[in-house]
């Protein structure tokens, strides 16, 4: 990994998070989790279940803790190893909310007004949304910077939030004349998995909130369901083209080829060369087989972890303690820098 900001010379640390607001899907796996696993061997990694972000829209209190365990099971089943990476629920580490408040006083209203994800989620109802949903990207900046995170592996949809995190870090360093205090976190947005689209509409991203379950492959789907969803996925009457440029204007085709490439670890061009001239009657079954082969073991492992919730709770509690030990001293330094009273 390249070095981050010119000024910051602290250690590199990877930070990322997922909301416990529903089942994870193939987009979350290929855009984030798969890369997390690859990073943990050579880097110091902190992976957070961002329940404080989830409650920016209504979450049933009877379900929230189980949703959190469910995401933890998905992390573990995907290969995130608690012996190498810290895994914990955000709400258990108070540094997030404290730093978010300080950052609320650094970030500008104009910056938040430009966030497209709020506009997409709120639609015409922005006046009725929670203040938390509007402020969400500031909390995200606090998540990363409470750990002085230098690298953030995410899908393409998080790019603008990461730019805001950099702006907040830079303004804090500048306003308080501490140029080397916060790193400017770098997004790691990699490969064909960074932007997985809906199986029903290649111009919308695959999303937990899409009302059609056929639009996504959930990490909990059985082999039969995965195969059926891929069979039904939107494609066209054409064949697999020779080059990436020839997929222009064929978003569904580009998406299916991208999923194949991300799952198999090949480039999109390699996939095209292998299937050039074939129709979807051939390509879809091959993609279904590949998806089942890669995701099936994860689904099975997830079930095993979920059958042992005490083990999950133990991992999360230990992770929260370890996270606290890193973040609390950093936020204490912020308090000193800002000049709050202390004895």
Binding site for ligand TYM (CB under 6 A): 15-19, 27-28, 30-32, 50, 53, 140, 143-144, 152, 154-155, 157-158, 161, 194-196, 205-206
Cβ proximity to ligand TYM: between 56 and 235 the closer is 56
Q: Using an 8 Å Cβ cutoff, are 119 and 160 in contact? A: no
Cβ proximity to ligand TYM: between 142 and 334 the closer is 142
CB-side exposure of 161: number of CA atoms within 13 Å? 26
Q: Using an 8 Å Cβ cutoff, are 150 and 13 in contact? A: yes
Closest approach, Cβ 278 to ligand TYM, in A, equals: 25
CA atoms 332, 330, 180, 104: torsion sign:
negative
Active site residue 121: yes
Active site residue 208: yes
Closest approach, Cβ 310 to ligand TYM, in A, equals: 25
Closest approach, Cβ 276 to ligand TYM, in A, equals: 25
Per DSSP (E only), the strands in the chain are 14-18, 45-49, 85-89, 151-153, 186-188
Closest approach, Cβ 42 to ligand TYM, in A, equals: 19
Cβ proximity to ligand TYM: between 53 and 166 the closer is 53
Please, which residues bridge with residue 86 across strands? Answer: 46
Cβ proximity to ligand TYM: between 17 and 319 the closer is 17
From the list 84, 159, 171, 208, the catalytic residue is: 208
Closest approach, Cβ 280 to ligand TYM, in A, equals: 21
What is d(CA 340, CA 332) in angstroms, rounded to the nearest whole number? 10
CA atoms 91, 95, 98, 101: torsion sign:
negative
From the list 84, 121, 228, 284, the catalytic residue is: 121
Query: What residues contact 130, with CB distance under 8 A and at least 6 apart?
Result: 56, 57
From the list 34, 148, 205, 234, the catalytic residue is: 205
Cβ proximity to ligand TYM: between 262 and 312 the closer is 262
Closest residue to ligand TYM: CB criterion? 31
Terminal-residue alpha carbon distance, the chain: 41
Query: What residues contact 9, with CB distance under 8 A and at least 6 apart?
Result: 180
Positions marked active-site: 121, 205, 208
């Amino acid at each position: 990994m390249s070095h981050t900001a010119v000024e910051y010379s602290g250690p590199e640390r990877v930070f990322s998070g997922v909301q416990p607001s529903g089942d994870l899907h193939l987009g979350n796996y290929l855009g984030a989790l798969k890369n997390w696993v690859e990073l943990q061997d050579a880097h110091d990694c902190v992976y957070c279940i961002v329940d404080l972000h989830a409650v920016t829209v209504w979450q049933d209190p009877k379900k929230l803790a189980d949703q959190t365990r469910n995401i933890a099971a998905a992390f573990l089943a995907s290969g995130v190893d608690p012996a190498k990476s810290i895994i914990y629920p955000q709400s258990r580490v108070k540094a997030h909310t404290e730093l978010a408040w300080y950052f609320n006083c650094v970030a500008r209203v104009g910056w938040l007004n430009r966030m497209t994800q709020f506009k997409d989620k709120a639609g015409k109802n922005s006046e009725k949304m929670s203040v938390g949903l509007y402020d969400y990207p500031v909390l995200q900046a606090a998540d990363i910077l409470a750990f002085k995170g230098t690298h953030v592996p995410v899908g393409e949809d998080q790019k603008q939030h990461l730019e805001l995190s950099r702006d907040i870090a830079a303004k804090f360093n500048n306003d308080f004349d501490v140029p080397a205090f916060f790193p400017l976190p770098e997004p790691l947005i990699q490969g064909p998995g960074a932007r997985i689209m809906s199986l029903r509409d290649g111009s919308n991203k695959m999303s937990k909130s899409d009302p059609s379950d056929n639009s996504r492959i959930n990490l909990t789907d059985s082999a039969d369901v995965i195969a059926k969803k891929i069979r039904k996925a939107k494609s066209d009457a054409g064949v697999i083209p020779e080059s990436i440029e020839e997929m222009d204007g064929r978003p569904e085709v580009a998406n299916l080829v991208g999923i194949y490439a991300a799952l198999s670890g090949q480039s999109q061009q390699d996939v095209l060369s292998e299937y050039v001239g074939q129709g979807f009657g051939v390509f879809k079954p091959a993609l279904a087989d590949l998806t089942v082969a890669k995701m099936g073991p994860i689904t099975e492992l997830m079930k095993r972890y979920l059958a042992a919730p005490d083990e999950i709770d133990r991992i999360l509690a230990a992770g929260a303690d370890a996270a606290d030990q890193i973040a609390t001293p950093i936020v204490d330094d912020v308090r000193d820098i800002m000049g709050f009273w202390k004895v």
